[in-house]
Structure 1
Amino acid sequence: MSTEETAPPVTAFMLIKTQPEWLAMTPEERVNAFATEVVPAIKARTKGVRSRFYDTEFYSTRVTDVWVWEADDHHAYQLLIDALRETPFWDRYFEVVDLLVGTENGYARTYGMDAVATVAT
């Protein structure tokens, strides 16, 4: 049986859809907009937040991207969302279709059990 003293990280799967304003930009303009308008707001308001980005527009028309955010705790996650809402990211460049937020292996923590997971071979 494994137990941890610290709270588990919060993981958010942010399902988003690109908006016309974002798509009207060149790829260079998009990178610049993200680097100058979104990243500084996140860095100024949060600590302990990491992200990964997945393109899904090849397979879905409702959701074009899945952004995975991992925050050290719920407060860091809340600050992240507050920061994003104050940038053009939120509702101008992207529509946030859904947020799926959880903690990895929460059931195992709740019941004091080892997590069951598969491993690639």
Structure 2
Amino acid sequence: MPTEDTAPPVTAFMLIKTMPEWLAMTPEERVNALETQVMPAVKARTSGVRSRFYDTEFYSTRVTDVWVWEADDHDAYQLLIDALRETPFWDRYFEVVDLLVGTENGYARTYGTAPVATIST
């Protein structure tokens, strides 16, 4: 849990849908595209961001993947989005269906209470 003097990390749930250009690639070409076209731009323009990737196409047709980004602060998050928009990721390989951005347990900090959760953080 962040101390009183630090801002909580920003977490973004990026709901995305694969586009035909992405689906036309082989799995090897997809990995190569992420490694050579997307991630270098993110690493060059940002610091303090981490990500996890979830496949959801087994259960949803509107959103095929969820890319969860955690940024140290709002500036790092903004730089991340700017970097992604300048790569083929944005609107060529994937449609960004929605962005759900928040901070974990924000209500607890606002009201000075302990977080209500099944897992202690």
Q: What amino acid is aligned across from residue 85 of structure 1 in structure 2?
A: R
Mapping 1:35-46, distance limit 5 Å: 35-46=35-46
Aligned residues, how many?
Answer: 119
Give the TM-score normalised by structure 2. Answer: 0.95
Give the TM-score normalised by structure 1. Answer: 0.95
Aligned to 2:4: 4
1:81-114 deviation digits (Å, cap 9, x = unpaired) = 0000000000000000000000000000111111
1:11-47 deviation digits (Å, cap 9, x = unpaired) = 0000000000000000000000000000000000000
Aligned to 2:91: 91
Greater shift, 80-89 or 108-117, is seen at 108-117
Q: What amino acid is aligned across from residue 79 of structure 2 in structure 1?
A: L
Q: Give the secondary structure class of the aligned counterpart of 1:4.
A: coil
Shift of 1:3: 5.5
Aligned to 1:119: 119
Moved over 2 A (4+): none
> Over aligned residue pairs, what C-alpha RMSD do you find?
1.4
Aligned to 1:78: 78
